[in-house]
């Protein structure tokens, strides 16, 4: 149950990727908190349930941990320090890949 990935996760992450690119400043940086805002807004645009958005956030946090971030939840709440857009995109792309893979694996197991 802890590794449950909602059906909407890949779509939410794709939309969040688009949104975070629009939020970057001219130096190619964004706040970590803007990643989470983009995720929330993407979920709302897709009419995802709140639980699905939170589960998608969990996928993102686990992915960030696997990429070596010690405190990913803290990064997603940070509005004081900017991070490189490339780093934010790496996190979101890796989470999208993970969610897509886990969804396919789950579907193959039930088929």
Q: What is the DSSP string of the chain?
A: -TT---TTHHHHHHHHHHHHHHH--TTSEEEHHHHHHHHHHHHHHTT--HHHHHHHHHHHHHHHHHTT-S-HHHHTT-SSSEEEHHHHHHHHHHHHHHHHHHHHHHHHHH-
> Residue 1 domain-assigned?
no
Q: Residue 82: phi, psi to the nearest 5? A: -85, 150
Among 105, 110, 111, 67, which residue's Cα sits nearest to residue 88?
67
> Residue 28 belongs to what domain range?
9-106
pLDDT (0 to 100) of residue 104: 83
User: Is the distance from CB of 75 to CB of 63 less than 8 angstroms?
Assistant: no
Q: Tell me, yes or no, whether 3 lies in a domain.
A: no
Q: Is 111 among the domain residues?
A: no
Distance CA(37)–CA(40), nearest Å, equals: 5
Q: What is the pLDDT averaged over residues 73-98?
A: 96
Which pLDDT belongs to residue 84? 96
Mean pLDDT of 76-98: 96
pLDDT for position 1 = 43
Mean pLDDT calculated for residue range 99-106: 85
The encoded tokens of residue 74 equal 């803290």
Residue 2 within any structural domain of the chain: no
Domain count, the chain: 1
pLDDT at 111: 47
Chain segment 18-77, per-residue pLDDT in tens: 999 999 999 999 999 999 999 999 999 999 999 999 999 999 999 999 999 999 999 999
pLDDT tier, 4 (very low <50, low <70, confident <90, very high otherwise): confident
Higher pLDDT, 109 or 14: 14
């Amino acid at each position: 149950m802890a590794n449950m990935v909602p059906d909407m996760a890949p779509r939410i992450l794709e939309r969040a990727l688009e949104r975070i690119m629009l939020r970057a400043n001219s130096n190619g940086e964004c706040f970590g908190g803007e990643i989470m805002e983009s995720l929330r807004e993407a979920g709302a645009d897709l009419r995802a349930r709140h639980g699905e958005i939170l589960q998608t956030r969990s996928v993102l946090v686990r992915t960030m941990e696997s990429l070596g971030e010690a405190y990913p939840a803290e990064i997603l709440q940070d509005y004081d320090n900017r991070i490189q857009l490339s780093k934010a995109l790496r996190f979101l792309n890796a989470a999208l890949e993970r969610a897509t893979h886990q969804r396919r694996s789950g579907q193959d197991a039930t088929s």
